[in-house]
Amino acid sequence: MAQEKGLKLRTKLESAKTLKATTGSGESYSAGEMIKVGDTIGVVVEDVSENSEFVLVYEAEKIVVPKATGTGITFSVGSNVYYDPTNKNVTNSTDGTILCGKALEDAGENDSEVLIDLMVLS
């Protein structure tokens, strides 16, 4: 079975909150990549090259995002989820990270993705 790639929204795009931004020189992003634009954390909707406009989902009731793996990096339903701007994924660590939502499913140490409620919390 082929692994799903790109944006993994589990709710209608019309119900998600989005913003338009522009990449800078030398910047490009892939669909499904988690990034920070200004003070806003979100997920890129479509692949985008440098100096191009793109759409970022910054609030969604159900979205699958990249998760850090390793010892102790797990989530239970309802756990806080933190964005790690260095690794561009979510983790359970509060050190150098930003609260960005709640886990909607359990995720183990080896899981590379997790379903979350992506929220604006600051």
pTM, full prediction: 0.92
Under the phi-then-psi rule, with left for phi > 0, alpha for psi from -120 to 50, and beta for the rest, what region is 6?
Answer: left
Return the amino acid letter for 93: S
The per-residue pLDDT for 120 is 86
CA distance 122 to 105: 23
The per-residue pLDDT for 13 is 85
What pLDDT, in 10s, does the model give residues 77-111? 999 999 999 999 999 999 999 999 999 999 999 99
Residue 1 in this model has a pLDDT that exceeds 50? no
What pLDDT, in 10s, does the model give residues 18-36? 999 999 999 999 999 999 9
The per-residue pLDDT for 122 is 62
How far lies 14's CA from each of 59, 72, 117, in Å?
Answer: 11, 35, 16
CB atoms within 10 A of CB 7: 20
Return the amino acid letter for 104: L
CA distance 25 to 1: 37
If DSSP codes are grouped into helix, strand and coil, which group holds residue 83? strand
Within the chain, strands assigned E span: 8-9, 17-22, 34-37, 40-44, 53-66, 80-84, 89-91, 98-103, 113-118
What pLDDT, in 10s, does the model give residues 35-56? 999 999 999 999 999 999 999 9
By percentage, how much of the chain surpasses pLDDT 90? 89
What does DSSP assign to residue 70? S
Residue 121 in this model has a pLDDT that exceeds 80? no
Return the amino acid letter for 81: V
The per-residue pLDDT for 2 is 45
Delimit the domains of the chain by residue range.
Answer: 8-118
